Amino acid sequence: MTVDHATLDRAGIAALIPQAGASCLLERLLRWDAGSILCASRTHLDPANPYRRAGTLGALVGIEYGLQAAALHGAMAAGGRRQPAGRVAALREVRIALTRLDDPAVGTLAVTSTLEAAEAAGLAFSFCLTAEDGRFLLGGRALIALPGGRG
């Protein structure tokens, strides 16, 4: 199946990543290529966001946005086919520049994921979230173990 990223909205994204329903945090795929992906979302401002705790959305939830972008990149790189879920093996160099992700001043989130390495056992990628005004919010690197050591 070929996926036209120009029409890939939240429902289309949810069909390609392990997170479904309200757990799918990305709303639009803006662009992607073999090395990276850029997505946008305003779900961090939704009072019904399932990752909220005690009425707030902590900054660490930004990591989940980055992981979902990486999963979407994997599906797009596989020709628009949903891939088996990987497992987070490590997070490194995580930098956080805010306390709460649900601050309205953030505006629309830009979520970037960049593939750094791919092997049969797993993937390494970096991720970055920026505010609508371009401010850095959160970023880091992740290692994902793939089921059955596939690549």
> Tell me: the pLDDT tens digits for 46-103?
999 999 999 999 999 999 999 999 999 999 999 998 888 889 999 999 999 999 999 9
**110-131, pLDDT tens digit by residue?**
999 999 999 988 999 999 999 9
Q: What is the token pair recorded at 85? A: 């879920």
Query: Which residues lie closer than 8 Å to 89 by C-beta, 6 or more apart?
Result: 122, 143, 144, 145
CB 44 within 8 A of CB 109: yes
Q: What's this model's pTM, rounded to 2 decimal places?
A: 0.92
Report domain extents, the chain.
5-149
Spell out the CATH class of 5-149.
Answer: alpha beta
Among candidate residues 13, 7, 36, the one with its CA nearest the CA of residue 111: 36
CB atoms within 10 A of CB 86: 20
